[in-house]
């Protein structure tokens, strides 16, 4: 009898130790009701390493600070002499040498293949069967390569995750460049076996910063530089007296702008670009970044032809074919997502707006999350310039205001999927936010997913980084209202500077 009892206890213990398998049927399928999540990471989701495993091992991406500084040290005296004595040859040589020393080995060959000694040794393979709302499988990739190569790997990855978990479908949560991988995937394999698609800040139709850079349009502008700094300040995590440091930095930036220091820096920068920009493009940027199909995937359609010529893309060969192949994925993403949605896949596209974008491009007024333009991430929203409402004439001509943001900055009716595209004002590119995570949980667990499905999360939201939350957008915020709603030192400083600006403007 004792033997029988201990056998039963043993059997129970073994069964319990199997964990998630408890919810499995005898045929290995899982009945937990929550298909596994695959997180398709952003650019730089895995390290790119030269001579991995040898004593010369060097991480090339993300570039390691020591490596960057040692390369900079080697050229700094020549850069200083070049600037000081206005010796453009010396300066050009030094800058070209610096860019090539840091990034040269990232370049791909004419077939779009990496150098044999430059690899991604830490790529994930799915392991274990643990899945659920708080657990995902991380798909990473070498951002330089052809997105269709990642799509093939993702296809195998999905198959493996299904086998491990006993589910016949998965959820794809794509962050930033993850949307490029998704675009190639949907174009090649369709949406079979996918039940949820989330696109977080994805450059689905590209980003202007890549389009303009690949056409050689670089411009420094003091307003955009100052605003870029100001918009990034609330996201600083200094770990100590955050609010005070943020407020002080904001005041400092605005003061420097007012005193003309930032304009002076821009003049210097513009002179530098004029003097040596062509050479740095010709001898360093084009030979490196022009060979990366991954970076080409960020070029919006309207820049593409000019970029092909400016970046001297070869007229044939593997690299040429790979760069051109992705144009199909980008051209088809709207119809591919629409088809998936119409067939019952739950889709959530979410993007930031009203953040000052990278201050190096001529299109600096394009509203964005700081990196990806809202119009490209949202698949076609009509957007105002950053920090401004849409034109009065546009607003007056709008017959249907169902998809117009309460601050009059975004008209989502022109999006490919207006009913499942969310917008978050003042949300910096891919910044973590508990409110947005809560929205994702709802998207993953609800039967109906649209901008009308969740009272707490309507189409237009506003990010509050300090509270780590998002709120429905009400109207355009003035500094005093923001201070009253969320009293903080940073908002107090913002209010004071808005007053100073108003007095200054009325005096002019
Ligand atoms: Zn399950």
Distance 272 CA to ligand 1 centre (A): 57
**Centre of ligand 1 from the C-alpha of residue 164, in Å:** 10
Q: Is there a single domain that holds both residue 350 and residue 471?
A: yes
Ligand 1 mean position to 22 CA, how many Å? 10
Distance 432 CA to ligand 1 centre (A): 26
Q: Are residues 496 and 440 in the same domain?
A: no
Whether the Cβ atoms of residue 172 and residue 184 lie closer than 8 Å to each other: no
Q: How far is the CA of 346 from the centre of ligand 1 (A)?
A: 18
Per-position DSSP letters for 66-81, written without gaps between them: HHHHHHHHHHHHHHHH
Residue 301 lies in a domain: no
pLDDT greater than 70 at residue 470 = yes
**What is the 124 CA–ligand 1 centroid distance (Å)?**
21
Region 163-176 average pLDDT: 97
**Confidence category of residue 3, pLDDT binned at 50, 70, 90:** low
What pLDDT band is residue 507 in, cutting at 50, 70 and 90? low
Peptide bond into 62 cis (omega under 30): yes
Distance 246 CA to ligand 1 centre (A): 44
Which residues, 6+ apart, have CB-to-CB distance to 303 below 8 Å? Answer: 206, 208, 210, 211, 212, 214, 215
How far apart CA 166 and CA 33 sit, in angstroms, is: 11
C-alpha to C-alpha distance for 457 and 435, rounded to whole angstroms? 9
User: Would you state the pLDDT for residue 398?
Assistant: 92
Place of tokens 């070049």: 82
* Nearest residue to 279 via CA among 110, 106, 91, 102: 91
Is the entire prediction scored with pTM above 0.85?
Answer: yes
**Which of the 8 DSSP states describes residue 285?**
I
Ligand 1 centroid – CA 162 distance (Å) = 10
Query: Ligand 1 centroid to 142 CA: how many Å?
Result: 30
For residue 30, report the distance from its CA to the centre of ligand 1, in Å: 5
* CA 187 to ligand 1 centroid distance, Å: 27
Beta bridge partner(s), residue 132? 135
- pLDDT at residue 23 tops 90: no
For the chain, give the number of residues. 508
Cα-to-centroid distance, 452 and ligand 1 (Å): 28
Instruction: Please tell me whether residues 421 and 460 are part of one structural domain.
Output: yes
Residues 258 and 268 in one domain: yes
**290 part of a folded domain:** no
Per-residue pLDDT at 134 exceeds 80: yes
pLDDT of 257? 75
Number of H helices, E strands in the chain: 18, 13
Burial of 207 (0-12, 13-18, 19+ CB in 10 A): buried
Q: So what's the pLDDT on residue 508?
A: 52
Ligand 1 centre distance from Cα of residue 167 (Å) = 6
- Calculate the alpha carbon distances from 111 to 25, 92, 108, 284, 300 in Å: 47, 29, 8, 19, 23
User: What is the CA(129)–ligand 1 centre distance, in A?
Assistant: 9
Residue 12 has pLDDT above 80, yes or no: no
Same-domain check for residues 455 and 426:
yes
Q: How far is the CA of 413 from the centre of ligand 1 (A)?
A: 37
Residue at token pair 């975004």? 410
Distance 172 CA to ligand 1 centre (A): 15
- pLDDT tens digits for range 326-368: 999 999 999 999 999 999 999 999 999 999 887 777 788 899 9
Q: Which domain holds residue 429?
A: 38-44+123-208+323-476
Q: 249-270 pLDDT, tens per residue? A: 777 777 777 777 778 777 778 7
- For 321, the 3-state DSSP assignment is helix
350 and 173 Cβ atoms separated by less than 8 Å: no
- Please give the Cα distance from 46 to 35 (Å, whole number): 25
CA 197–ligand 1 middle distance (angstroms): 18
In terms of domains, do 256 and 243 share one?
A: yes
Q: Residue 81: which pLDDT band, with cuts at 50, 70 and 90?
A: very high
402 or 220, higher pLDDT = 402
* 79-104 mean pLDDT: 91
Encode 384-434 in three state secondary structure: CECCCCCCHHHHHHCCCCCCECCCCCEEHHHCCCHHHEEEEECCCCCCCCH
Residues 6+ apart with CB under 8 A from 229: 249, 253
User: pLDDT digit string (tens) for 360-369?
Assistant: 777 888 999 9
175 within domain boundaries: yes
Label the pairing between strands 469-472 and 460-464: antiparallel
Q: Same domain, yes or no, for 463 and 406?
A: yes
Assigned domain for 134 exists = yes
- What's the CA-to-centroid distance between 84 and ligand 1, angstroms? 65
Say if 97 falls within a structural domain.
no
How many CA atoms lie less than 13 Å away from 269 in the CB half-sphere?
14
Q: Same structural domain for residues 393 and 464?
A: yes
For residue 153, report the distance from its CA to the centre of ligand 1, in Å: 23
Name every residue whose Cβ is closer than 8 Å to that of residue 196 and which is 6 or more positions away in sequence: 35, 37, 171, 172, 173, 345, 346, 347, 348, 443, 444, 449
Question: Into how many domains does the chain fold?
Answer: 2
Residue 27 CA to ligand 1 centre (angstroms)? 13
Compute, in degrees rounded to 10, the torsion defined by CA atoms 353, 355, 361, 364: 80
The tens digit of pLDDT for each residue in 423-454 reads 999 999 999 999 999 999 999 999 999 999 99
Q: How far is the CA of 195 from the centre of ligand 1 (A)?
A: 14
345 alpha carbon – ligand 1 mean position (Å): 18
**234 Cα to the center of ligand 1, angstroms:** 39
Q: How far is the CA of 36 from the centre of ligand 1 (A)?
A: 7
58-62: which pairs have CB atoms within 8 A and are 24 or more residues apart? 60/103, 60/105, 60/106, 60/118, 61/106, 61/143
Q: Assess whether 396 and 249 both reside in one domain.
A: no
Helix (H) or strand (E) segment spanning residue 482:
helix 479-485
pLDDT score for 270: 78
Local structure of 108: helix, strand or coil? coil
Give 170 or 493, the one with higher predicted confidence.
Answer: 170
Ligand 1 centre distance from Cα of residue 419 (Å)? 29
In a domain, 307, yes or no: no
How far does the centroid of ligand 1 lie from the alpha carbon of residue 32, in Å?
Answer: 4
- 464 and 336 belong to one structural domain: yes
150 C-alpha to ligand 1 centroid (Å): 26
Q: Is residue 459 domain-resident?
A: yes
**2 has a pLDDT exceeding 70:** no
Ligand 1 centroid from CA 192, angstroms = 18
CA of 33 to the centre of ligand 1 (A): 6
Q: Are residues 367 and 436 in the same domain?
A: yes
User: How much distance in Å is there from the Cα of 189 to the middle of ligand 1?
Assistant: 23
Q: Are 243 and 357 within one domain?
A: no
Residue 28 lies in a domain: no
Q: What is the mean pLDDT of the chain?
A: 89
């Amino acid at each position: 009898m004792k033997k029988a009892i201990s056998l039963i206890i043993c059997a129970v213990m073994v069964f319990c130790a199997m964990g998630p398998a408890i919810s499995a049927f005898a045929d290995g399928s899982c009945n937990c009701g929550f298909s596994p999540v695959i997180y398709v990471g952003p650019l730089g989701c895995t390290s790119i390493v030269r001579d991995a495993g040898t004593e010369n091992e060097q991480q090339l991406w993300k570039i390691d600070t020591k490596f960057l500084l040692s390369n900079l040290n080697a050229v700094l005296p020549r850069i200083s002499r070049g600037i000081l004595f206005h010796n453009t040859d010396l300066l050009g040589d030094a800058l070209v040498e610096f860019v090539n020393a840091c990034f040269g080995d990232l370049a791909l060959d004419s077939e779009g293949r990496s150098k044999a000694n430059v690899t991604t040794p830490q790529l994930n393979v799915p392991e274990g069967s643990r899945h659920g709302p708080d657990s995902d499988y991380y798909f990473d990739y070498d951002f330089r390569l052809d997105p269709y190569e990642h799509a093939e790997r993702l296809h195998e990855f999905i198959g493996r995750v299904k086998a491990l978990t006993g589910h016949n479908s998965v959820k794809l949560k794509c962050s930033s460049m993850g949307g490029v991988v998704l675009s190639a995937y949907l174009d090649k394999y369709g949406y079979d076996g996918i039940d949820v698609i989330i696109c977080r800040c994805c450059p689905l139709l590209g980003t202007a910063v890549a389009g303009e850079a690949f056409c050689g349009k670089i411009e420094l502008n003091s307003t955009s530089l100052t605003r870029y700094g100001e918009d990034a300040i609330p996201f600083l995590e200094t770990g100590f007296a955050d609010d005070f440091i943020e407020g002080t930095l904001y005041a400092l930036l605005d003061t420097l702008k007012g005193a003309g220091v930032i304009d002076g820096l821009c003049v210097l920068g513009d002179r530098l670009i004029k003097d040596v920009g062509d050479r740095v493009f010709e001898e360093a940027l084009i030979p490196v970044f022009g060979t990366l199909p991954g970076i080409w995937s960020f070029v919006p359609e309207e820049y593409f032809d000019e970029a092909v010529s400016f970046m001297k893309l070869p007229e044939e060969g593997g690299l040429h074919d790979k760069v051109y192949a992705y144009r199909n994925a980008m051209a088809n993403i709207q119809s591919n997502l629409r088809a998936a949605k119409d067939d019952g896949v739950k889709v959530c596209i979410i993007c930031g707006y009203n953040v000052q974008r990278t201050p190096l491009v001529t299109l600096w007024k394009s509203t964005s999350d700081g990196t990806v333009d809202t119009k490209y991430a949202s698949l076609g929203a009509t957007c105002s310039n950053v920090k401004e409402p849409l034109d009065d004439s546009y607003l007056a001509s709008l017959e249907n205001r169902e998809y117009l943001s309460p601050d009059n900055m975004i008209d989502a009716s022109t999006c490919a999927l207006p009913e499942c595209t969310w917008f978050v004002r003042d949300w910096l590119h891919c910044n973590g936010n508990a409110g947005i995570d809560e929205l994702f949980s709802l998207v993953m667990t609800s039967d109906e997913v649209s901008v009308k499905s969740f009272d707490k999360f309507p189409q237009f939201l506003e990010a509050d980084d300090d509270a780590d939350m998002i709120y429905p957008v009400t109207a355009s915020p003035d500094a005093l209202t923001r201070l009253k709603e969320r009293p903080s030192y940073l908002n107090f400083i913002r209010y004071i500077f808005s007053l100073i600006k108003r007095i200054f403007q009325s005096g002019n």
